[in-house]
Amino acid sequence: MIRYIIFRVFAAIPTLLLISLLIFFIIQLPPGDYFETYIAELQAQGETVDPNKIAFLKHEYGFDKPMIEQYGLWVLGMMHGDFGYSFEYEMPVTQVIGSRLYLTVLISVVTIIFTWLVAFPIGIYSAVRQYSWGDYGLTFLGLLGLATPNFLLALILMYLANIWFGVSIGHMMDARYLGQPMSWGKFWSIAEHMVIPVIVIGTSGTAAMIRRLRANLLDELQKQYVVTARAKGVPPLRALVKYPLRMALNFFISDIGGILPSVISGAVVVSIVLSLETTGPLLIRALQSQDMYLAGSFLMFLAALTVAGVLISDIALALLDPRIRLQAGRDK
């Protein structure tokens, strides 16, 4: 088992390097760079730019170097904690993302916990009470959640909150706490404002997980070992938890690798609609202005979450399912 974990950890390193290579070259695909986009915006406003200053900035930040050399400098910088310089905001990337990154991680973790806490009991109930009124009702709500885009649900909730309660549900905290150090008042303000974004972001993922858990558990409940357990008089709860639920949990655990990036990417659109102080609006602006270091850092953060999620799910599956451990041992 230890060898399997070490192998999976070391396999993640070349994966991240390959992803960083793809991210860097995809960002470079659009013609021009940040400075050319900046010059075009100023010229559209009727302003002039000193070409000598632009040439100096390109040389200063390595934009005149070959692309592969720029990539090497970027990767080496990230290994030392230097994610580059944001030309759009005229400060290092680490200072730009700052507290926004912590808020993004916080809302993503809370959304994942919300998804699991809601999906797990509902999925089990729908499978055990198949074709009941509760199953039909929960199935309808699940399909409705899958069919409703996150941004549309956010707009609907914003409208209803304004019409029914006369309040605005945008932002992650009250305006008086923006830029202030963490305090109990700011903490409770974030907790209050987080309810709606968590529900909006987690709805589709929760609905999808309910459907998958129900389908997998129904397959397991029809197998012979469950019928045999019932015939021997095993109590229904024990017959459910001991084997079929454990088998159905495999997909539940494997979803960790996919739910992290899906939550982050879903939060990007929702953060724009709800005016959240997260990394979403910064990422969109960085891509529009070709601020490659800022955009690349965000995308690498998303990629690292994906790889970390897959690693965690692989290790958790190996701990949960002896067949995976035995297969890993034979492969070694």
In tens, the pLDDT along 186-230 reads 888 888 888 888 888 888 788 888 888 888 888 888 888 888 888
What pLDDT is attached to residue 267?
Answer: 73
pLDDT tens for each residue of 275-300: 887 877 888 888 777 777 888 888 88
Residue type for position 119 = A
If asked whether residues 244 and 107 sit together in one domain, one would say yes
Mean pLDDT of the chain: 80
Of residues 47 and 297, more confidence is placed in: 297
Of residues 57 and 195, more confidence is placed in: 195
Radius of gyration of the chain (CA): 24
Question: Is the torsion defined by CA of 211, 215, 218, 220 positive or negative?
Answer: negative
Looking up tokens 């939060």 gives 267
Of 92, 126, 150, which residue sits at a domain end?
92
If asked whether residues 150 and 100 sit together in one domain, one would say yes
pLDDT tens for each residue of 139-148: 888 888 888 8
User: Coil, helix or strand for 85?
Assistant: strand
If asked whether residues 112 and 51 sit together in one domain, one would say no
- Whether residue 7 lies inside any domain: the answer is no
What pLDDT is attached to residue 317?
Answer: 79
What pLDDT is attached to residue 328?
Answer: 57
Percentage, residues of the chain above pLDDT 90: 1
Query: What are residue 264's DSSP bridge partners?
Result: none
Look up residue 325 and give its two tokens.
């451990």
If asked whether residues 114 and 228 sit together in one domain, one would say yes
If asked whether residues 279 and 238 sit together in one domain, one would say yes
If asked whether residues 294 and 310 sit together in one domain, one would say yes
Structural domain harbouring 301: 96-331
If asked whether residues 79 and 102 sit together in one domain, one would say no
User: Coil, helix or strand for 86?
Assistant: strand
Rounded (5°) CA angle 200-206-209: 155
The number of distinct structural domains making up the chain is 2
Task: State the Cα–Cα distance between residues 94 and 97, nearest whole angstrom.
Answer: 6
DSSP code string of 252-321: HHHTHHHHHHHHHHHHHHHHHHTT-SSSHHHHHHHHHHT-HHHHHHHHHHHHHHHHHHHHHHHHHHHHH-
What pLDDT is attached to residue 98?
Answer: 74
- Whether residue 37 lies inside any domain: the answer is yes
Of 35, 62, 92, which residue sits at a domain end?
92
If asked whether residues 34 and 121 sit together in one domain, one would say no
What pLDDT is attached to residue 166?
Answer: 66
The whole-angstrom distance between residue 234's C-alpha and the CA centroid of its chain comes to: 41
pLDDT band at 327 (very low <50, low <70, confident <90, very high): low
